[in-house]
Amino acid sequence: MFRLAHFSDPHLHFAAAPPTLAERLSKRSLSRWSWARGRGALQRPELLAAAVADIQAHAPDHWLCSGDITNLSLPGEFAAAGRWLASFASPETLSIVPGNHDALVPVPWAESWAHWQPWLRGDDQTASVSASQFPYRRVRGEVAIIGLSSALPTPPGFASGRLGAVQLDALAELLRSSQRDGLARVVMLHHPPADGVVRRRKALDDRAALRAVIARCGAELLLHGHSRDARFDPIRGPDGLVPVLGVPSISAIPNPKDEGARWNLIGIERVTGRWTIEVTARRWLPAAAAFVTAAHYRIV
């Protein structure tokens, strides 16, 4: 059995310099205000450290992070996040995709996601990978990890995402080729593919087009972040339903708006010719000051 650890939305704390005049007039000012108004108090670095330790204790074969690593998309944040990623997982054992906070405003590639190249690069991509080279595919064991980018700058008040026709066409080909290769296809993106998971201003604009690709080509599992609670929202595939699992922020303490820190340990294996998925949900329990198993179930 190949085991994946999926977490999302770490929202790393970062000691940012005072905002410049340009930043005061940009979308970053709203995010700074939200962070100062209480969001920063809910995203706890000590809780994130405990989550990383809990994942390490379960020794997964591969880690998956579905975005929102930063908060303000500042160049210094991207560099610091790259150092944080390197502190616990090598590029061979961790795959990431960006979230809306990682594209809050336009930032040159060299000052932003370039710091994360090793964890964003597909097996067939060179070190010159750029923002246009999504989706990527990484084969680990019998699993094809397919990373999508739904992150793009949006107007103030919006946190929506979009994949676009070019990326969706490439996804369809990767799904078909991975099936021909006999691999379990795990698709990861930041925004939820299903309807009604988040408000419209925070949703994936072309989620119906994504679901249409899955309906034609199939997949074994879709993973996302962005929502503030744990999600199980299957969508239609060519031969039945495809499970879609979402997790809340890995660094959030439980509060009225957030279910609280949670990650999933996902085991994938082929049993009598069919892919079987075992999920162990780990959540933060404040009373125990530890992560505990909230659920364990199997999907065939």
Print pLDDT tens along the chain (300 aa). 999 999 999 999 886 656 565 665 567 776 766 766 767 788 899 999 999 999 999 999 999 999 999 999 899 999 999 999 999 999 999 999 999 999 999 999 999 999 999 999 999 876 555 656 899 999 999 999 999 999 999 998 899 999 999 999 999 999 999 999 999 999 999 999 999 999 999 999 999 999 999 999 999 999 999 999 999 999 999 999 999 999 999 999 998 888 999 999 999 999 998 999 999 999 999 999 999 999 999 998
Q: Is the peptide bond before 155 cis (omega within 30 degrees of 0)?
A: no
**What single-letter DSSP state applies at residue 198?**
S
Looking at residue 124, what is its pLDDT? 87
Contact in structure between 213 and 163 (CB atoms under 8 Å): no
Domains of the chain: 2-299 (3.60.21.10)
With CA atoms as reference, report the closest residue to 228 among 193, 210, 202.
Answer: 202
Q: Which of 270, 268, 264 is nearest to 296 (CA)?
A: 264
Coil vs helix vs strand at 160: coil
pLDDT for 8 equals 98
Pairwise CA distance, residues 266 & 280, whole Å: 6
